[in-house]
Amino acid sequence: MKVDLSGQVWAQFEQAQTRAKHHLDEGRSEEAAAEYRRCANLLRQYSQYAIDASVRKQRLERAEKFDQLAARIQSGLMGQAVSESSALDDYRETVRGLVTKTDVGWDEIGGLEETKREIQTAYALALARKPEGVRMRSPRNILLYGPPGTGKTLLAAATSHELDATFFNVRVSDMLSKYFGESSKLISALYREAGAQAPSVVFLDEFDALTAAREGDESGAERRVLSTLLSELDGLDNKRKDEKHYVLTIAATNIPWQIDKAVISRFGARLIYVPLPDEAARRAILEIEIERKGHASEVSVAALARALGGYSGREIEAVVGHAVASMVRRTNPDLLQQASLGREALAAYTLKVGVLTVADFESAQMAIRPTTTPKDVARFELWRQQIEVE
Ligand SMILES: Nc1ncnc2c1ncn2[C@@H]1O[C@H](COP(=O)(O)OP(=O)(O)O)[C@@H](O)[C@H]1O
Ligand SMILES: [Mg+2]
């Protein structure tokens, strides 16, 4: 049986790094260089556990840097002035890779009027100038919870766009699996970069992946990630307290009850429920998906909104997409033949569009079924009541 020793290797690496820094502080260059070499070797070992080729490469490159650092210390060029910040800078590129462009406007989100207002109030409180002598705690953390496909990502993107902020799009589960033992440093680097590029929105999707230490967390990596994140959410970094360095964290989850109580408490009153769309919201989403995308329909959006009870925004989008595809196939019977003629023929061919019919929507509704059950909804409602009294 192959045993995963990556946690141990990582722990050894961290110990070597601590020793290296200590030697360096005390002016023992020879010993420091030796420990940095050890760091390099351990990182090379550690890189073999990476599943992702790009992560492996990143670790190998970092190992290389430790070797260079060791060489420089030995040659006495840097003397006491050597800092480790170059090693932390390695994360900077990774963190910058999380920056995503968003141009989602509030008007592209159907319904959720109250939710939008709550988010807007949060950042307005934080960003508006306070009268002389008045101090207020302004909200910096928001948790959006609710069934999948209800617009949580959209809301975060629209907030960022509205604030003209740098949008850091982080899927917590990916981060934990890709960077494992390094996740905690990555979070520090993330918030450092967000502060530097402020105003920023840090979007932590699938936030529930960050639960307290699970079994098998021998290296303590997950616990470390959690405590790093908690201190970032507490905003202990003084620089970020003023408006010039505004960093808004928006976390999102479909399973809020799996999140640690200690973590939930960091969000104070900013726990915002993003429910399945009600009839008015479904109608608003349908208008966005049908009318604003230039389609004509023989079924009114009002009738469709009534028929699609229990569907999430994403599912409504899929229903319309399915109906549009049926219509396109019907109105362009020669499309496949055109496709066989190659790209040039296709570029010269203009699609014919027709009216979306009752049959188009009926088959779409048969193909796409809502996945969130009334029981699921009840669970969200219950959790909501629970946190309100706790
Ligand atoms: N309220 C909404 N208004 C318009 N479109 C929506 C809405 N909710 C969901 N959608 C559609 O579903 C897709 C997925 O939504 P998303 O924000 O990623 O859901 P979540 O993050 O809650 O799982 C969006 O890209 C959008 O096309
Ligand atoms: Mg999402």
Query: Which residue type is seen at 114?
Result: E
Where do the H-state alpha helices sit in 242-300? 261-265, 279-286
Report the top-level CATH class of 279-371: mainly alpha
Of the CATH numbers 3.30.70.270, 3.40.1180.10, 3.90.79.10, 3.40.50.300, which one belongs to the domain with range 99-273?
Answer: 3.40.50.300
CATH architecture observed for domain 6-83: Up-down Bundle (1.20)
Ligand nearest to the CA of 157: 1
The pLDDT assigned to 86 comes to: 53
Element (H, E) at 355: strand 355-356
The Cα–Cα gap between 127 and 261 comes to 28
In the chain, domain spans:
6-83, 99-273, 279-371
The closest ligand to the CA of 106 turns out to be: 1
pLDDT reported for residue 80: 40
CA–CA gap between residue 340 and residue 345 (Å, rounded): 9
- Give the residue, out of 314, 319, 372, 380, with the most ligand 1 atoms within 8 A of its beta carbon, to mutate for a pocket test: 314
What residues flank ligand 1, with Cβ below 6 Å? 109-112, 148-154, 252, 277, 285, 288, 313-314, 317
Chunked into runs of 10 residues, the chain (390 residues) has average pLDDT values of 79 93 82 92 91 90 90 65 53 84 90 90 82 78 95 95 92 78 82 89 91 57 78 66 78 92 84 94 96 93 96 97 95 87 86 93 96 95 87
Q: What is the pLDDT of residue 303?
A: 96
At 368 the three-state DSSP class reads coil
pLDDT reported for residue 219: 61
- Ligand 2 centre to CA of 151 (Å) is 7
CATH topology agreement for domains 99-273 and 279-371? no
| Structure token pair of residue 227 | 């405590």
Q: What pLDDT is recorded for position 218?
A: 56
State in Å: Cα 151 to ligand 1 middle.
Answer: 4
Q: How far apart are CA 325 and CA 318, in angstroms?
A: 10
Please list all protein residues whose beta carbon sits less than 5 angstroms from ligand 2, which is an ion. 153
Which ligand is nearest the CA of 169, by number?
Answer: 2
- CA–centroid distance, residue 36 to ligand 1 (Å): 48
